[in-house]
Structures are given as C-alpha cells and as structure tokens.
Amino acid sequence: MRYEFDEYSLLTSERLLLRRGERVQLKPKVFDTLLALVQNPGRLLSKEGLIRLIWPDSFVEVSNLSQNIFTLRRVLGESPQDHRFIVTVPGYGYRFVAKVREIDEGEGLGGAAATEVRSPIRSLAVLPLKSLPPDAGNDYLGLVIADTLITQLGASGVVSVRPTSTVLKYAEAERDTLEVGRNLQVDAVLDGTVRRSGDAMKVNVQMLAVPGGETLWASRFEAAAADFAAIEDALAEQVAASLRIELERGASARPRRKSPKDIDVYQTYVKGRFFRDKRTEEGLRVALSSARAVLEAEPELSLGYVGLADCHLLMGEYLYLPPGEAFPPALAAARKALALDPALGEAHASMAEYSFFYGRDWAGAERYYRDAIRLSPDYATARHWYTWFLIAMSRYEDAAEQIRQAQMTDPGSLVLNTIVGLPDYYLGRYEQAIKQFRGTLEIEPNHHHARYYLGSALVHSGRPEEAVAEFEAMVAASPIQQAIALLGYCYAVSGRREEAGRMLSRLDELERQRFVAAYVRAFIHMGMGERGGALDQLERAYEKQEPWVVFLNVDPFFRSLRGEPRFTRLLERLRFKG
C-alpha cells in the first residue's frame, strides 16, 4: 500500500517516505506517527489515541509524541505559521490536513488503483430531530429519537457517539448542522425531521460528513406511533450498517439502559433533561415536575429517579432551596434508582453528589464518582462533578485531568470551557484563570458561570473596580444571592463600605422571601474586615449543612482566616487539615 500527499509518497510495506522519489530518513516511531496521521486524513486524533497506536505495549510520556510531531514538521518543511500538513488542536491532539491518495499496488497486470482516502467515521453526533410542524404536543419527539439512537449506537464501542447530555442544548435552538459538528469535533452528524399526525409517524434522516457536508447516508421511515420501538431499531440498524458496525443484540449484548416505554412518557422524560440542563431555578422546577410525571406513569423507571434526585441536588447546590429541603429527597431518589438498576452510572453520580455536598463523606463520594465514570465513561456530568470534589480536596492536577476527559466527550460545553480555569483560580494563578473565563465570555457574553469566576479572579488579582463592573452586570441580569454577596465584597474592598452595607440589607430583604445561605453573607463580612462576623456566618453555615462549606479549605475569599483558632476548628470538623 502506498499513500501520496503533496510531493511525498509513504510506502507501508517498505516503511519508506519518499520526496520526489528520494528517500527521507525517519526513525521508526516517527514513521509510525506519520503513518497514523496519513491513514486518518482530516480526522482529529487525540494525543492518547496516537500514543496507543504508536506505542501499543509501552507507557510513554506525551513529550515523546510532541517530539515526533516536531520532527515531522521539520522534515516536511513546515514553518510555525504554515501548517500545510499537521494542525495542532491545543489541549487535545493533531489533525493531518493535506489531501491523501491511497494507491493499492496489486499483483499482476492490473496495475495500481488510486483512490482518495476517506477517513472512517470514528465519531458521530446525533442531533435532536426537528418536529414538523412545530407542535406543543410533540416538541421533544426529535430528542426522544436522538436519545434512543445515541444509546444503541454508543453501545457498539466502535464509534464514539456524543452523549445526549452534549446535544440537549440543540433541542430548541436554530443551528447550522455542520457548525455543530465542527464544535463537537466529530467526523459526521446525523440530523433530520420527524412528523407525527395522529397515530402516523414519518422520520427523515441524513448523515453528513464533517467538515465537508457530503451526504454519507439518508433514509426515511413511516410507521404507526404505536410501533415506535420498531422504528427505533430499524433506524439504528440502518445507521449502524452505514457506519459498518454491528449493534449488540440478543443474549450476548450488554444490558441496555432502561428507557421509558411509552412515547409520550419518553417525551416528558427528555423534556425534563432539557430543562434540568439549563440549571436555572425555573428550569429545575419544570424538570422536577417532569420527573414526577414520568414516575407517576412508570414508577419502576430508574432514570426517572435519577432525574428526581438530580433536580433536588441542583436546587440545593445552586442555593435555590434550603439544604434540608433539597438533599434528603435527593438521597431517597438516588437510592431508589440504584436499587432498580445497580449498574446505572448516572445513579452513582447522584449518590456521589449527595455524599460530597451534604453527607460530607469524602471517601464514599469518591467511590461513587469513580463507579459512575467506570459504568458510564461518556457521562461528562460525572467527570464535571468529580472535578469539583477534587478541587475541594486540593487535588488540582487530578481535577484538570477530569476536565480534559469531560471535554473530549463534550467539547462544545461552555460550562466545561469555564471550569478549565478553576484549577488556576484556586491555585492563585489569576491571570491564567482570567484569560480562560474571558475566552468563554467571548463565545457567550451572558454566561453567568464565567462572569462569576471572572469577577472573583479580578478582585483577588487586585482589580476590585473591574470586578465591581462584572458583578454589577451579573446582578442586573440575574439578582441571585451569591452575585449580590460578591458585589458587596467588591464594594467593601474598593472602599465603598456604605454600598457594601446596602448589599447586606438586600440579602436581609431577600431572606424574607426565600433561603439565603450564611456562607455567602460571610463574603461581605470578609470584605468589610469583620472577621468575627464572617466566622459567625461560616459556623452557622456548617451547622445548617450548607453545601458550599465543602469548599472552605480552598476558597480564596477566606484564605486570610487561616491561623484563626475558630477557622482551624471548622476545618477539623470538616476533616480538613488546618
């Protein structure tokens, strides 16, 4: 077999690289690196994947691969500004961008046949199908179909299929299919439409190559809505055949995640997931209502209990509910989910969150996080949540690795793009963190998580007036208690003590309507230099089992309290070292 690109020929059997017929000297592993890239033109290859291809039986550092890439660029005559052959994707891997021809030099008189190499489809995004016409009763039917396809195709293990949590955000958004594919860093995108009229259902789907947009496969299906399961299986089989993979069926198949049986219940389920993913109070209340409706219809559905658990967990973690109202119901629901399906990774993740934020069982939480990742390695939420736990434990390198792994599953997530900056933030490397948070805001100016941490990093880097501007914008858009509190802190450290006091009064007023965490009140007391008042609030937060107390050991807002006997006792009660 011979591969040709530009003025080069790569001969696999002789293990030679020729330039205009002249031999180019390459060390064996450098040749292997080039061969791996050339056999996958246009496809983004991760550093880990390349290392497994080049050194299958050895453990090597990433620096070995980087050196090989550097050598190839020098040999191929690339300058730092002109990557005609190899493009680096920072933090992930490499892509070979030159056009490649594959030449099969067969025996006999037939000569050699040349074809342009099309890289095999190794990664796929299945987007929620559009409902035609838009209909309130079937708004989430396209997401149901996407979810079932993702579950079946992902089980093959041959093609990396982006999980449902990654594509949820496209359920109600106008989108450019190929742009989505590029953002999700996949080789192909499956998209289409679904029309339901009475008991009749019509589904049209097509698979497009990324980035070129060529149609790789298309089909249509018509059936009664009552035969929805048959449509799912037929569609999955045809997509699998187009990808040249076999779906697991029969006794040898791995157990499939149990999804809702009724199509309308399934729509309610995915609607709940969609609104849960918004993380707003209103969205979580819609999601909670959806989870309850699902369980009323199908009381033995483990995923329904995961939805119920996660809604309560997030209501507690985002301070929408008092901890005593949020976390105990979450525990009951997560335990029920595990009892119904002990192998459900999502249920283990829910148990981990409870154990971390409310149970304060560090060892138990880590076991559950690891079990969740082992059972559902593509569940980016588990890695995201585990990242927060690792940060609280001051294990910043491990946290950075979990973020990186989560981004491989969900590369378009702005939340993950934000938390990439958190290890730097908690380590006091504020300039690096600021750059990351601003990068997220350039993509989405209204991203509250990024603005929250940008303001925090600015004030710790000695720029309180810039931080004030960020938190004023945040409070104007969404006056949540933590933003009000940090605006008060920034006012105080800027010398605007009267305005800081007004923020405390605003929290008092808010508390007459809803739960306000003592932990966030402590921010303003710290800014005003009232260390005793801050400690009073932190002790109260500990006693009330407020969730944010788990970050007390690493939170830079309270770093100056180290050495205070009361603060040391708090850390000891949390089983952190003072």
- Report CA 323 to chain centroid distance, whole Å: 26
Judge whether 168 and 273 are in contact, CB under 8 Å. yes
- Residue 253 confidence (pLDDT): 42
- Residue 119 confidence (pLDDT): 60
Taking Cα atoms as reference points, which of 103, 137, 101, 97 lies closest to residue 116? 101
Cα 538 to Cα 518: distance, rounded to the nearest angstrom: 7
Residue type, 132: L
Could you write out the DSSP letters of every residue in 442-505? Answer: HH-TT-HHHHHHHHHHHHHTT-HHHHHHHHHHHHHH---HHHHHHHHHHHHHTT-HHHHHHHHH
pTM of the model: 0.76
- According to DSSP, residue 79 is labeled B
Cα 362 to Cα 519: distance, rounded to the nearest angstrom: 20
- For CA atoms 215, 221, 227, 230, the dihedral sign is negative
Q: Across the strands, what pairs with 88?
A: 94
- For CA atoms 26, 29, 35, 38, the dihedral sign is negative
Residues with Cβ within 8 Å of 126's Cβ and at least 6 positions away in sequence, in order, are 146, 149, 150, 153, 161, 162, 167, 189, 190
> CB atoms < 10 A from the CB of 500, how many?
22
Cα 145 to Cα 192: distance, rounded to the nearest angstrom: 10
Cα 125 to Cα 187: distance, rounded to the nearest angstrom: 8
Cα 338 to Cα 302: distance, rounded to the nearest angstrom: 7
Residue type, 248: E
Per-residue burial over 311-346, b = 16 or more CB atoms within 10 Å of its CB, e = otherwise:
bbbbbbbbbbbbbeebbebbbebbbbbbebbeebbb
Could you write out the DSSP letters of every residue in 114-179? Answer: EEE------EEEEPPPEESS--GGGTTHHHHHHHHHHHHHHTTSSSEE--HHHHGGGSSS---HHH
- Residue 108 confidence (pLDDT): 37
- Residue 113 confidence (pLDDT): 52
- For CA atoms 37, 40, 42, 47, the dihedral sign is negative
Q: DSSP 3-state assignment of 360?
A: coil
Angle between helices 565-573 and 531-543 (to 10 degrees): 20
Token reading at 456: 């925090």
Structural domains in the chain plus CATH codes: 2-116 (1.10.10.10), 123-243 (3.40.50.10070), 257-376 (1.25.40.10)
Over its length of 578 residues, how does the chain's per-residue pLDDT go in tens digits? Answer: 889 998 999 998 889 999 988 899 999 999 999 999 998 887 778 888 899 889 987 888 888 999 999 999 989 988 655 678 888 876 678 888 888 888 876 543 344 455 555 566 778 999 998 887 766 567 788 888 888 888 888 776 667 888 888 888 888 777 888 889 988 888 899 998 888 877 778 888 888 888 878 888 888 877 776 777 777 777 778 787 777 665 554 433 444 567 888 888 988 999 999 999 888 999 999 999 999 999 999 999 999 999 999 999 999 999 999 999 999 999 999 999 999 999 999 999 999 999 999 999 999 999 999 999 999 888 899 999 999 999 999 999 999 999 988 888 888 788 999 999 999 999 999 999 999 999 999 988 989 999 999 999 999 999 999 999 999 999 999 899 999 999 999 999 999 999 999 999 999 999 999 999 999 999 999 999 999 999 999 999 999 999 999 999 999 999 999 999 999 999 999 998 54
Distances (CA, A) of 323 to 24, 104, 568: 67, 66, 24
Token reading at 339: 């009892």
**Kind plus residue range of the DSSP H or E element containing 195:** strand 188-197
Residue type, 250: G
Cα 426 to Cα 397: distance, rounded to the nearest angstrom: 12
Cα 342 to Cα 325: distance, rounded to the nearest angstrom: 26
| 103: alpha, beta or left? (left if phi > 0; alpha if psi -120 to 50) | beta
- Residue 148 confidence (pLDDT): 85
Q: CA torsion 222→228→229→234, rounded to 10°?
A: 20
**Kind plus residue range of the DSSP H or E element containing 289:** helix 281-297
- Residue 111 confidence (pLDDT): 43
Cα 71 to Cα 83: distance, rounded to the nearest angstrom: 13
**Whole-angstrom distance between the N-terminal and C-terminal Cα of the chain?**
64
Name the E strands within 12-111. Answer: 16-19, 22-24, 44-46, 86-89, 93-96, 101-105
Token reading at 35: 């061969």
Cα 162 to Cα 165: distance, rounded to the nearest angstrom: 8
Judge whether 171 and 142 are in contact, CB under 8 Å. yes
- Residue 304 confidence (pLDDT): 96
Taking Cα atoms as reference points, which of 127, 247, 108, 137 lies closest to residue 197? 137
